[in-house]
C-alpha cells in the first residue's frame, strides 16, 4: 500500500512539473513576458498572423522538398549535388521566414524587450 501511495505521489510530481514547463513555453511564445503596450500588442498580433500564413506556405513547400529528396534518394545513382540543392532551398526558405519575423518584431519592441526576447529565440525557429 505504501508503495502505491509513493508511486502516486511521484507520478503527480512528474505530471505537475511537465505541466508547468508547457505553460511556461506557451507564455513565452505569446510574448506576455515582455509586458507589451496595447499598441505593441496589436502590431505583434498582425505580425503573428502573417507569420502563421508564412508557416502554412512553408509546410507545403517543405513537404514538396521532402518528396523531392525521397525521389532523388530512390534513384539508382546517388546525386549529391541534387540533394544539396534541395536541402539548400529548404534552408533558404526557413532562413527567409525567420529573418522576416525577427525584422518585423524588432521594429515593434523596445531595446529592453528585444533583449528579453532573445532569451527565447529557440521558441521561434521554423521547423
The pLDDT assigned to 119 comes to 85
Q: What are the tens digits of pLDDT across the range 47-63?
A: 989 999 999 999 999 99
16-30, 38-52, 70-84: least confidently modelled range = 16-30
Contact 98, 122 (CB under 8 A): no
Three cell numbers at 52?
502563421
Q: Model's pTM, two decimal places? A: 0.70
Long-range contacts of 108-117 (CB under 8 A, 24+ apart): 108/40, 108/43, 108/44, 108/47, 109/34, 109/40, 113/34, 113/35, 113/36, 116/33, 116/34, 117/31, 117/34
SS3 95: helix
Task: State the CB neighbour count (10 A cutoff) for residue 89.
Answer: 15
Q: What are the tens digits of pLDDT across the range 73-98?
A: 999 999 999 999 999 999 999 999 99
Given the C-alpha cell 525577427, which residue does it identify?
102
Amino acid at each position: 500500500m505504501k508503495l502505491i501511495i509513493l508511486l502516486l505521489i511521484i507520478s503527480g510530481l512528474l505530471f505537475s512539473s511537465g505541466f508547468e514547463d508547457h505553460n511556461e513555453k506557451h507564455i513565452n511564445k505569446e510574448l506576455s513576458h515582455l509586458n507589451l503596450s496595447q499598441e505593441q500588442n496589436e502590431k505583434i498580433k498582425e505580425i503573428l498572423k502573417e507569420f502563421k500564413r508564412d508557416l502554412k506556405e512553408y509546410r507545403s513547400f517543405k513537404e514538396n522538398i521532402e518528396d523531392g529528396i525521397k525521389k532523388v534518394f530512390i534513384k539508382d545513382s546517388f546525386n549529391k549535388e541534387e540533394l544539396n540543392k534541395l536541402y539548400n532551398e529548404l534552408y533558404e526558405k526557413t532562413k527567409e521566414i525567420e529573418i522576416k519575423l525577427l525584422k518585423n518584431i524588432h521594429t515593434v519592441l523596445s531595446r529592453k524587450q528585444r533583449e528579453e526576447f532573445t532569451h527565447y529565440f529557440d521558441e521561434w525557429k521554423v521547423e
